[in-house]
Amino acid sequence: MTARASIGVIGGSGFYSFLDDVTELTVETPYGAPSDSLFLGRIGEREVAFLPRHGRGHHLPPHRINYRANLWALRSVGVRQVLAPCAVGGLQPQYGPGTLVVPDQLVDRTKGRVQTYFDGETRADGVRPNVAHVTFADPYCPQGRAASLAAARGAEWEAVDGGTLCVIEGPRFSTRAESRWHAAQGWSVVGMTGHPEAVLARELELCYSALALVTDLDAGAENGEGVSHAEVLEVFAKNVDRLRDVLFDAVARLPQEQGTCLCTTALDGQETGLQLP
C-alpha cells in the first residue's frame, strides 16, 4: 500500500469529524480488523490518519479493542508518528477535571490483553515472528511529547509535563482502595486504553505519545460517591474542542520525519522475523 498519511491520531470521533475533507479507508491486517475505518485528511500541510479507538458509536470497551490491528493498520498507510488523546481520572487532588497531562511514564495494570507482536505464534498468513524484546524504559516519544506540550502552551492550557499514567483493565472504575494505592505510588492519572497501545507502537518502531485529559478525580482522590460515566462524558464534551485545537497544533509541530528518537531503533539488532508494513 502506498503511503497515505505520516501522522496518526487515535481518538474519538470528535477529531476527524471536524475536518472538511476526509477519505474513509477500510484496512485489513494480519491481526484482524482495526476498531474502525481509517479517516484520512489533512491538517495544514500534514497528512493525517484518524482512527476512532472505540469505533464509531463507541461500541468497543477498552479490553475488547484490537490494539495490534489498530497500530498495524496505521503503520500500513505510512504513519510513523502517533498522537493518542485519552480520557483519564486524576489520582492527585491537584489534577482535577480539565487538567491536561502529557505523561512520561506508564504503569501497566491490565490483565490478559495481547501486548506483543512477538508472541511466537504463527499468524493466519503463515508468518511466524521470533521472540523479541523492546526497550520500554521511556515509553513515550520525546518529540511527540514536546510538540504536545508546546501546542498546549500555545493555547494557554498549561499542560502537566510528565507524570505516570496507570492503565487498569476496566471496564469498571477503581475501588477506593485501589485508587488510594495508585495515588500513594505517586502515579498521576489512571486510564484504560494507554496499554498495550504504547508498547505495540514501540514494537512497530512508531513514535507515540499520549495526551491525557482528566475528566474526574478518581475514587481515592475525592470524597463523593466515586466516578460516574455520565460525569466523565460531560467533562470530556466540555473540553473536546480545545483538546482538538491542541491536537491539530501538535500535529503541525511534529517533525516532518521521524527523528533520531529511541522509538525508531526499538528493534535494532534483533532478528524479529517480521516485515513491518
Residue numbers 231-260 binding Zn ion by CB under 5 A: none
Q: For Zn ion, which is the closer residue by CB, 47 or 205?
A: 205
- Told to judge if 104 belongs to the known catalytic residues of this protein, a careful annotator would answer no
Locus of grid cell 496507570: 166
Sequence-distant (6+) residues with CB within 8 A of 180 are 220
List the end-to-end C-alpha distance of the chain, in Å, as a whole number: 9
Q: Does 5 bind Zn ion (CB under 5 A)?
A: no
Q: Which of 115, 261, 272, 277 binds Zn ion (CB under 5 A)?
A: 261
Minimum CB separation of residue 162 from Zn ion in Å reads 16
Q: Does 206 bind Zn ion (CB under 5 A)?
A: no
Angle, alpha carbons 64-65-66 (nearest 5°): 115
Minimum CB separation of residue 54 from Zn ion in Å reads 25
Three-state secondary structure of 208-255: EEEEEEEEEECHHHCCCCCCCHHHHHHHHHHHHHHHHHHHHHHHHHCC
Q: How many CB atoms are located within 10 Å of the residue 130 CB?
A: 11
Minimum CB separation of residue 138 from Zn ion in Å reads 10
Q: Does 207 bind Zn ion (CB under 5 A)?
A: yes
Does the annotation place 29 within a ligand binding site?
no
Locus of grid cell 501546542: 151
Q: Does 166 bind Zn ion (CB under 5 A)?
A: no
Phi-psi sector, 32: left (phi>0), alpha (psi -120 to 50), beta: left
- Count residues near Zn ion (CB under 5 A): 4
Q: For Zn ion, which is the closer residue by CB, 43 or 261?
A: 261
| Residues pairing with 46 in the sheet | 43
Q: Does 73 bind Zn ion (CB under 5 A)?
A: no
Q: Which of 167, 263, 266, 274 binds Zn ion (CB under 5 A)?
A: 263
Identify which range of 163-171, 185-193, 201-209, 247-255 contacts Zn ion by CB under 5 A. Answer: 201-209
Identify which range of 70-78, 139-147, 158-166, 174-182 contacts Zn ion by CB under 5 A. Answer: 139-147
E-strand spans in the chain? 7-11, 23-25, 38-43, 46-52, 81-90, 100-102, 105-109, 160-161, 164-168, 189-191, 207-217
Residue 180, φ and ψ in degrees, nearest 5:
-65, -35
Minimum CB separation of residue 205 from Zn ion in Å reads 9
- Told to judge if 216 belongs to the known catalytic residues of this protein, a careful annotator would answer yes
Q: Which positions lie near Zn ion, rule CB under 5 A? A: 141, 207, 261, 263
User: What are the residue numbers of the active site?
Assistant: 216, 218
